Amino acid sequence: MAGFAALSFLGQCQVWVKNRLVQTVNLRIKTLMAKNLIDDGPLPEDASKPLSFMTNDLKLLETNGITSELTILQELLTLIFAIAAAIYFDWLTTLVFVVGALLPMAVSGLTQKPIDRRSKAWSAANGQYTGSLKDLLSGLDTIRSYHANTVAKARLNQSSTAMENGLRRMNNLIGSADVWMSFLSLTVGLLVPFGFGIVRILSGVITIAGFIGIVQLSNSITNPLLIIMDGVNKWNTTRQIQAKLRTAKDTSSDKRSEQPLGTLQTLTLNNITLSRGGKALLQNFNLTIKAGSKILLKAPSGFGKTTLLYALQGQLPMQGSYQINGIDAGQLPPRQQLDLFSLIKQQPFLFNDTLRFNLTLGGDYSQDELEEAARRAHLDTLVAEKGWDYQCGENGANLSGGQIQRVEIARAFLVKRPVILADEATSALDDKLSDAIHDELFASGKTVIEVAHHISPEWQAKFDQVIDLTQAA
């Protein structure tokens, strides 16, 4: 009774230790990936990929990777003890049993590449499914308005079918590999060693009792080996994911040291080339911007204006020479470069949180600073009416388009950075409000780089430079 209780308690401890280990590893990986995603990684061209990685792929890593590693470790211990005990009876018969059990394992190596390919295909299909689902949820109002329900459901079904097919194919391959490895284990791993053992008994090298001992122990050799093979196959499905984790580790160790930049003097672009999604945009572009100047960038839609603003911040790559105060931007820590700019986005993003949080984004600002930013962005009437704790809703669903834009403008005023990048910053505002915001932007004394399609001739005349990007190369 006491023995059984002790064994059960050991089993209980094993469950606790295993789950604690899985939790610790999962948390470390999630923290590392969150850091890479938020701090270090490039802006994703397709958000569904990191989304799927953080959810589905990391789950697969837990079930097929971390859990398999623990199982392999546990079974290895049983295996080592069983082999040691069997050697005590007869080392040669034990060797034949071990070789017979290892042979199928070597053959299992052949299935690794196809398993890799199928796991990659499953991961891609998974990303597409997550992307479709995300699209559908954020565009549900549009889908319903235009009665696109049937098409939307069909698209989602199509990607979920592709994902489930990918999963089935991957599991089929793993399952088939397991079945045929078992067949080999039973034949090469069991029948041959049995025959050899009988020969050893007949030649008087071992006793029947010794052979029975080895046969008993062979279960503790073959079974752990089968479980280890299955674990290795499962672990192999996570190799792509582990490769991504290693890249994340590399990017998170940025060795560039902080260089004193001092106050901003110039931004110099020489022979700059930009591309996005494989498409060449600006070519051989040159521009020098002095601190405090007001620049208007003009070009047709899709030319690459927004891309240029992101590249100035260092959030998208650019080829050529980009210097900040004469220092190569590539030599600056990304954070130092980012800290020079506040970006008023063409399509602002709002958190499903209060007005206050949406302005401060968790930063430490005094109430006076908040009120001042809201006043300059002409958001003060909204604040007076709704209060700072007003819930903006998912991506600003509880605000008008113009109010969302003014929250974005207020954010830019609040952070007080030397350069304001304004991407169609007042496109949702009426002329009077747009003029008032421009008055504030120009009065700030900051460098303003604005991208806009509709700016009146009077306002255009107030800029230091109006650059037509189509003529700038």
Ligand X SMILES: Nc1ncnc2c1ncn2[C@@H]1O[C@H](COP(=O)(O)OP(=O)(O)OP(=O)(O)O)[C@@H](O)[C@H]1O
Q: Which lies closer to ligand X via its Cβ, residue 53 or residue 310?
A: 310
Q: Closest approach of Cβ 43 to ligand X, in Å?
A: 8
Q: Which long-range contacts (CB under 8 A, 24 or more apart) does 322-325 make?
A: 322/267, 322/268, 322/269, 322/270, 322/272, 323/266, 323/267, 323/268, 323/270, 324/261, 324/264, 324/266, 324/267, 324/268, 325/261, 325/262, 325/264, 325/265, 325/266
Q: Which lies closer to ligand X via its Cβ, residue 170 or residue 344?
A: 344
Q: Closest approach of Cβ 454 to ligand X, in Å?
A: 11
CA 380 to chain centre: 37
Strand, helix or coil at 296?
Answer: strand
Query: What separation in angstroms does the CA of 106 have from each of 72, 102, 228?
Result: 16, 7, 12
Q: Closest approach of Cβ 444 to ligand X, in Å?
A: 23
For the chain, give me the number of helices (H) and strands (E)? 19, 11
Q: Closest approach of Cβ 280 to ligand X, in Å?
A: 10
Q: Closest approach of Cβ 303 to ligand X, in Å?
A: 4
Tokens of 465: 């430079």
Q: Closest approach of Cβ 78 to ligand X, in Å?
A: 52
Q: Which lies closer to ligand X via its Cβ, residue 39 or residue 45?
A: 45
63-78: burial string, b at 16+ Cβ within 10 Å, e else: ebbbbbbbbbebbeeb
Q: Closest approach of Cβ 309 to ligand X, in Å?
A: 8
Q: Which lies closer to ligand X via its Cβ, residue 310 or residue 413?
A: 310
Q: Which lies closer to ligand X via its Cβ, residue 168 or residue 453?
A: 453
* Pairwise CA distance, residues 413 & 374, whole Å: 8
Cβ 442 vs Cβ 448: under 8 Å: yes
Cβ 254 vs Cβ 132: under 8 Å: no
Residue nearest to ligand X (CB): 277
Q: Which lies closer to ligand X via its Cβ, residue 370 or residue 449?
A: 449
* Pairwise CA distance, residues 470 & 305, whole Å: 11
Q: Closest approach of Cβ 302 to ligand X, in Å?
A: 4
Q: Which lies closer to ligand X via its Cβ, residue 100 or residue 304?
A: 304
Tokens of 141: 């109002």
Helix (H) or strand (E) holding 383: helix 380-386
Q: Closest approach of Cβ 40 to ligand X, in Å?
A: 19
Strand partners, 465: 295
Phi, psi (rounded to 5 degrees) for 465: -140, 135
Amino acid at 228: I
**Which chain residues interact with ligand X by CB under 6 A?**
45, 276-277, 279, 281, 299, 301-307, 346
Between vectors from CA 70 to CA 64 and to CA 75, what angle results, nearest 5°?
110
Q: Closest approach of Cβ 363 to ligand X, in Å?
A: 27
Q: Closest approach of Cβ 125 to ligand X, in Å?
A: 21
Q: Which lies closer to ligand X via its Cβ, residue 67 or residue 306?
A: 306
Q: Which lies closer to ligand X via its Cβ, residue 204 or residue 277?
A: 277
CA atoms within 13 A on the CB side of 109: 5
Q: Which lies closer to ligand X via its Cβ, residue 89 or residue 285?
A: 285
Q: Which lies closer to ligand X via its Cβ, residue 29 or residue 309?
A: 309
Q: How does strand 294-298 pair with strand 447-451?
A: parallel
